[in-house]
Structure 1
Amino acid sequence: MKKLLNLFLALFLLMVVGCKKETETLDAGNINEYYPLAVGKTFLYRLDSTVLASFGSSLAVKSFQAKDSVESTFTDNQGRLSYRIFRFIRDTAGLKPWQSLATFVATPTHENVEYIDNNLRFIKLHAPISEGYTWKGHSYIDTKSLNTTVGYLDEWQYEYKNFGQPFKAFNTTFDNTVTVFQQDETTPPGPFDPKNYQQRNLGTEVYAKGVGMIYKEFLHWTWQTTPPPAKYEDGSYGIKLRLISHN
């Protein structure tokens, strides 16, 4: 009788584990749902750009409208379907004509989304999309060689947070989103003191189901005290994008 009870208990535990795994699989988000792309799609953002000011003695924020337009597709050197995306900017009131700013390449696969920005290949999303999942978002970027200019991107570990939660970007709340936490680090830690060296790195993006990227915040600056005068290093910059509308 005892052996029979143990057998039933073992079978029950196997069923519970199997159901749990099935639930986890069903709950995981699909990459194509959170990053849907098609030629002709456009995304209108409020862009706040952090730039050097006063010969590096301070930082300033300049604001624009930015439009990302999915212009065409092509096959990359690995035989994968890729999308060419043009970014245009204009004044925040939308009174002046659009001006070309940058070109990006996005390559979504069943496993991840690769995104080329300024010749740097980022892994923006990675399967499975589920709470707490992590990956190395900069594994294709040279962050260690003596000649690199992006050493501050070294070893960033991306992590999904707030999966399935609502998020407000600009004036619209999206019901089902996932946040990609990238980095939030101040070295050395503590409040800013102009007498001391400090570096700040911050990165986060939010994707809405059925839409794509609705929010982005990136900030990198290095305050250098030697040689005097103290100032922000060249290459210090930031960008914030908040989705206004899309088609």
Structure 2
Amino acid sequence: MYETIKYEIRKSVAWITLNRPEKLNAFTEQVNREVQQSIKKANKDPEVRCLVITGEGRAFCSGQDLDGVLEDMNHGEVLRKHYNPMVLELYKCEKPVIAAVNGVAAGAGMSLALACDFRLLSEKASFIEAFIHVGLVPDAGNLYYLPKLIGYAKALELAVLGDKISAHDAENLGLATKVIPLERWTEEVALFAERLASMPTVAIGLIKKNLKSSWNLTLEESLEKDAQAQRIAGLTSDHIEGVKSFMEKRKPVFLGK
């Protein structure tokens, strides 16, 4: 079904792997489209309760494939047609999304990782705001997410200077959920994803939705969002199971419903 990515479901986790290792998994129009389609597919699939986006080979994603950049290219239209729909599909996803950053994440590859809910980094991974090095502006949601994660001043520094950020520096900045040693990479990413997949999926989706809306709401509006979300969560079987397991002093078994 896909030519530039791999898509598989294991233990309720959808694994989306960018699969152009010879090009460091650089973006093309087709990659953008297939990533968008796979996120939409996973979000709609009741079997899927968590998504992992990663890269084949030694890179996560090196950004736009420069072989496809032409002198007369309308960069704005490329974003509107190819990148923005991908980023918006990720934004709309109600399930937890992990960026498993196995190597370099540069340019729009960094943007992709920033748009995910969690960022697990291999100790050999790195981030690079590469746009400035070719006279461009960080795009694909980069400047939307970055200051929210690390603050305006640091976001400006990274975007303007374009220095390489090591995995441990990313962790110190708050860009990484966790840095994982190479010898435990595959095992720990899977364990983290499976942990999320075993949690109350509806509640996670509501948490994501309310966090995203909180930036533009008054306290009163946010409190009302809390009440609306809690009403929905309170009607789920996972809430009933959570209360029941607490009373029975056992570990809950959530079904994501």
Normalised TM-score (structure 2) = 0.24
Q: Which has the higher helix share?
A: 2
